[in-house]
Structure 1
Amino acid sequence: MRSPHAQHPVTPVHLTAGTLTPRPWVPGDAAVLTGLFRDEALRRWTSGPVCDEAGAARWVAEQQRGRETGDRLAFAVEEARAPGAGIRPAGHVALKRPAPESGSAEVGYWTAAHARGRAVAPRALRALTDGAFTAFAHEGPARPELLHRAGDTASCRVAGKCGFALVGLLPAAPPASPREGHLHVREATAAG
């Protein structure tokens, strides 16, 4: 099935987030991604966790396909580090583009264990939503929606810091969503 966005040129989105560098995921990230997903908290709160390097390679390929079709814009988030310290993703942000008739787009993110406590998620999420409002303004109003599992208090804090209001509780819908969730929404005028 052809994506509705594949019929249109893919709008390039370049994000700016201070000392963070959001960039597309590349196949060479699979090995480090496998290591990042050894973190129990990351596996608990994300959907479709990566279990091994083959799974990480498939996940990266899915992110690349989404970018090629314009359906999903996913970014590895790197953090400026001391010279010689090496670079590994500090997190991930993504935007699932809406169908043309939809008024909303879904955003998501996660932070690697080694980068928690440094505001990586709020900075990257602000850059993503601000960039999306700018890049896709010609497509009409798309309000970003952020969904996360109920009980993920860190995600509630990040959502609030980024201007996403909690608007509802979503029922569990196994197997994809085995727990209740929270729905947060950000309007274009929200402070980021």
Structure 2
Amino acid sequence: MRLEPARVEVDELVLRPFVAEDEAAVAVAMGDPDVLRWTAGNAVIRTPAEKRASKWLESRIDGWARGNAVFAVADAATDQVLGSVTLRDVNRVPDQAVVGYWVSPAARGRGVAARALDATARWAFTPTAQGGLGLHRLSLDHALVNEASCRVATRAGFLLEGTMRDYFVELDGGRHDSHLHARLASDRP
């Protein structure tokens, strides 16, 4: 199911589709051990460092055409990419999607991730007639040892629903329990 690319503004941030010109900013993020470990994916991690950004971008630039809402989180004044929020598996289960996110090291500590995640959720819950996706439930997970991700999810209104044992698998085969969080359209913001 193709999604219509969207643009969402919140505070000094803009959420917009990724473009090829974002490669340099994505390369900086893909150089961060935490972004690589928690969100880049094994295909990107296995790619030589100098090609990771293009590898990561190749499936994100056309993500909207494949049914994923892939937002670059950018500074509204400079259009510099600060992070990413993605809704994947949109409507694989009716009225639901799965969320993933990351923020570049230089943008951390300013609430960028939580504000972008909240804005994405609000947009996703907006009825389709008003430009949103009309979804009811968004879920996300993170390894328990990734405590920063837990703080972001909680600040953005994603309630903790439980622990998934040995869910997150590292490239070396190591496993971590993961928290499952979710936010419903009916939840109070």
Scaled to the shorter chain, the TM-score interval is: 0.7 to 0.9
Conserved in 2, the CA contact under 8 Å of 1:30 and 1:53? no
Aligned-residue Cα RMSD (Å) equals: 2.5
State the TM-score, normalized to the length of structure 1.
Answer: 0.81
Instruction: Note the residue ranges of structure 1 that are not aligned, 5 or more in a row.
Output: none
Could you say which residue in structure 1 is the equivalent of 2:49? 52
Q: CA deviation at 1:31?
A: 2.6
Q: 1:191 to 1:16 in 2, by over 3 A?
A: farther
Deviations 1:66-112 (A, max 9, x none): 2112x21111111245xxxx653111111114335434210111111
Q: CA deviation at 1:140?
A: 6.1
Could you say which residue in structure 1 is the equivalent of 2:61? 64
Could you say which residue in structure 1 is the equivalent of 2:155? 161
Q: What amino acid is the match of 1:124?
A: A
Q: Which has the higher strand share?
A: 2
Task: Say which of 125, 138, 141 aligns to 2:117.
Answer: 125
- Secondary structure (helix, strand or coil) at the match of 1:121 reads helix
Asked whether 1:188 is paired with 2:185, we answer: yes
Q: Distance in 2 between matches of 1:139 and 1:78?
A: 21
Q: Distance in 1 between matches of 2:105 and 2:164?
A: 27
State the TM-score, normalized to the length of structure 2.
Answer: 0.82
Could you say which residue in structure 1 is the equivalent of 2:166? 172
Q: 1:32 to 1:16 in 2, by over 3 A?
A: closer
Instruction: Note the residue ranges of structure 2 that are not aligned, 5 or more in a row.
Output: none
Aligned pairs (5 A) from 1:79-98 = 79-80=75-76, 87-98=79-90
State the aligned residue count: 180
Could you say which residue in structure 1 is the equivalent of 2:101? 109
Could you say which residue in structure 1 is the equivalent of 2:35? 42
Q: 1:155 to 1:17 in 2, by over 3 A?
A: same
Asked whether 1:29 is paired with 2:26, we answer: no
